[in-house]
Structure 1
Amino acid sequence: MSGSHARHVALSILGNGFPPIAVLVTAPILARALDVDGRGDLAAATAPFMLAVAIATLGLPDAVTNVLARRSYLRRVTWLALVSSLLGTGMLSVVIVWLASPILTQGGSSGLATLMTIATVATIPGLLVALLRGTAAGLHMWGVVATERVLNGSLRIAGIVGFALAGQLTLFTATLVTVLGPVLAGFAYVRLIGAKPSLARTSRPTSSRRTFAYGTKAWLGSVAGVLLMRIDQLLILPLGGAAQLGLYAVAVNVSEVPLIINSATREVMFSSDAAQRDNARAGLAARATFIACLLCAIVVLAPIGWWLPLVFGVEFSGAIPIALVAALAVVVGVPGSIAGATLSARGRPELRSYSILVACALNVVLLFVLVPPLGGVGAALATLAGNLVSSNMCIAFTIRNHQFSWADFYRIRPSDFRSLARAGARLLRRASE
């Protein structure tokens, strides 16, 4: 891993890591303030917002990243079209959630449907923040992206802790903090004002049609990917009840810690591979990220039987088996995640989309089959099956189209550990300077 890539990954890890860390810091406070059922209601109230912010982007942030990383640029009329489209899909999301909320909140507390709709209104500005993030990523401004995410996590901690100390941490205030933090953090992108891509002499503007075409291909995968990761939190409430959703929400918070590393590497690889293709670098990234995520999962989950009841309360002990299965689902999907980023960077995002769509369909079917008898464990097993299918389909497509082999993604080599150790040492040296 080169020095520049290690630095970019470090910044991305900082950015991707802070919001989950903030979630972990505030999760025990929420668990004790809201109890198991209330924690389930909070997950249900905010799940449509989380889904909509990713689904309603139409893949346009990824398209902008791809364009700018290739040292091309977009005309002003294209930017206006992008913003108008996101505003339109944001408003459509609010209407859809408002209509569906009575069904989605069956088994929840009274007033949950209204709160769900109010929370989804934050989708509209949230989509614009996503577009700004895609712009910064395309310009390799990882420090700005990290700033936004650190600010997001800081606002969450400040809000939850502040309301808790004031004795006002309720379902309503917790929901507001959850959805407004990501929006207010978007002010970090004021640093984009005046920023321009480094253009080669032969650079040409990318047309609106080409940008939207790429975005549509990437969007299918984004939709399915978010559904694969988050639709369970929409369906567990009507299928298994608020208590099971409360346990599942805590388990997911814990099990997704390894995603910090995976998400950081995937983002940097997408941007860098769009600028310059390198099979050896992509394969090393997949293997090294898998090793790092596996080690992270072991460190966090090996003592979970001791620390989770202590931190969250004995009533949340049922989240332990869910967290173990969910963490396995995260780790097995790592190689395919990097393969999917490679496909998207090289102009074939639709192949990644096909993989995730198949996995998502399987996941939904398994949710209806497994959640009623097994609760949160059933939902975690459904996610595990979906991640296995999606990951290996992405790898198969990458092998077929870009001269990779299965060994590039799965055969761990001694040199991988050495590369990972060197990258870690380099990051520690920079952090201490």
Structure 2
Amino acid sequence: MKPTKQLISTAALTYSGFGVSILSAPLLARALEADGRGELATFVVVFQVLGWISYFGFPRGIALSLVQTAQLPARWFFPLAAFGVIGAGIFTAALTVLDVASLRQTALLGWAALLICFTGVAQIGYELVHQTGQFAKWNIGRFCLLVLPSVIQIALYFADRLSVPTSVVAILLGQTCWMIVNLHITYRATRGVPRSAPPVRSFSLKYWMSILFDGVGSRLDQVVLAAVATSSQLGVYAVAVTCASASGALTQALNHVAFPSMVAGRAGSSRRDYRRAVVLGFTASLVCGGLIVFVLVLFEVRIFGPTFDGLVFVAAILIVYQAAADQWLGVVYRNSAAGRGDVLAIASLCGVGLFGVASFLLIVTHTVSSISMAGVMVLMGVFRWVVGVQLMKRVAI
């Protein structure tokens, strides 16, 4: 697939995902109301964060080793299996402590925990097809995560069956399809491969630290709101996140398409792609973000109902954060291909450190709200990206 087609197909799928998410968002808002939307957001936060951080960055490190050396580390499977079991246990304990009322005494938590057990091995396949530029296969996996859950939720709404448990079922069905596809890819790619590659611990752990800090920074905002603010404020914030996310699809697609060139060591191409991604990405974020704010100003109540007061202001602020987060993705890809996990870890630590200080000030001054938390996210996102770019210049990446 040519780069232009890769860019178009990847961006189109991202926009499709955001499109159905935006279509499903008001349906979820009406069916679940603010309290139920907050409960669903709590489940999603814990499930996604543990899926990101449970595997210590090993899936990307193992995939990079396989692509760049055609070899696997001597011991790669059993650590991932152990990490998965531990992550599933933490997930179950966390949801028990948070006590999401709508999910009590259901089998859904067990299903989600089982998926976490195998996520690490499946991530290897997902990374492999991305790093080697097999965007058709990669986008199949993305379809399962980005589009399928929202389509199921829309169908459930019109069947008058949409609730917190059935919304979770839709999410888990998408995750299950993604896992089946990528477990098959991992099996085919690793079968018979020599296991003599150097250990990937150094890069993987530093990259994992970056994932950890980013996961904390990008999701702890909702955790803080869940703990301190009302469910209604969390519900407004969660819907605003969905709206703001739609502004960055082109920026993300440019970075996604550039990543295989970086992994293959085509340095000139990767630099050119990165500069283009920065310019076009900020332009696209500005245009798309402005359109989203315009639509919300005119149709906020008509689309989402009267219980989401102030949504437009929160979404406008989070659009700025989304632009910075999309630029940070380019930094992550460039340093991953170069094996410089240290740059990512330092920049992510700086970002989450600023988030922690700002959030603490909000809590002690009793000013936590959806709007103030969105402002904190902007500060974190911009600071993290700026630090990452400056560190890249120092190490000549």
TM-score (norm 1): 0.81
Q: Note if 1:220 corresponds to 2:214.
A: no
Whether the 8 Å CA contact 1:218–1:349 is kept in 2: the answer is: yes
**Map of 1:332 onto structure 2:** 324
CA distance in 2, matches of 1:342, 1:100: 34
Whether the 8 Å CA contact 1:129–1:183 is kept in 2: the answer is: no
CA distance in 1, matches of 2:198, 2:380: 32
In structure 2, stretches of 5+ residues that fail to align are none
**Map of 2:55 onto structure 1:** 57
**Map of 1:390 onto structure 2:** 384
In structure 1, stretches of 5+ residues that fail to align are 198-203, 404-433
Structure 1 window deviating more from structure 2 (205-214 vs 188-197): it is 188-197
**Map of 2:267 onto structure 1:** 277
1:264-413 matches, within 5 Å, as: 264-275=253-264, 276-278=266-268, 279-370=271-362, 372-402=366-396
Match of 1:186 among 170, 179, 189: 179
**Map of 2:250 onto structure 1:** 261
Deviation at 1:195, TM superposition (A): 6.5
Deviation at 1:394, TM superposition (A): 0.6
Whether the 8 Å CA contact 2:221–2:373 is kept in 1: the answer is: yes
Deviation at 1:248, TM superposition (A): 0.6
CA distance in 2, matches of 1:84, 1:193: 14
Match of 1:236 among 225, 239, 246: 225
Deviation at 1:138, TM superposition (A): 2.1
CA distance in 2, matches of 1:147, 1:299: 28
Whether the 8 Å CA contact 2:57–2:208 is kept in 1: the answer is: yes
Deviations along 1:11-32, one digit per CA (max 9) or x if unpaired, are 3324444433332221111111
CA distance in 1, matches of 2:358, 2:109: 27
SS at match of 2:162: coil
Deviation at 1:322, TM superposition (A): 1.0
TM-score (norm 2): 0.87
Q: Note if 1:175 corresponds to 2:168.
A: yes
Amino acid at match of 1:148: G
Deviations along 1:340-378, one digit per CA (max 9) or x if unpaired, are 322222121221121011211221332343364241112
**Map of 2:234 onto structure 1:** 245
CA distance in 1, matches of 2:21, 2:139: 16
**Map of 1:407 onto structure 2:** none
Q: Note if 1:156 corresponds to 2:149.
A: yes
Deviation at 1:208, TM superposition (A): 5.0
CA RMSD of aligned residues (A): 2.8
**Map of 1:99 onto structure 2:** 93
CA distance in 1, matches of 2:66, 2:13: 20
CA distance in 2, matches of 1:56, 1:360: 18
**Map of 1:73 onto structure 2:** 70
The alpha-carbon distance between structure 1 residues 206 and 357, as it changes in their structure 2 partners (threshold 3 A), is farther
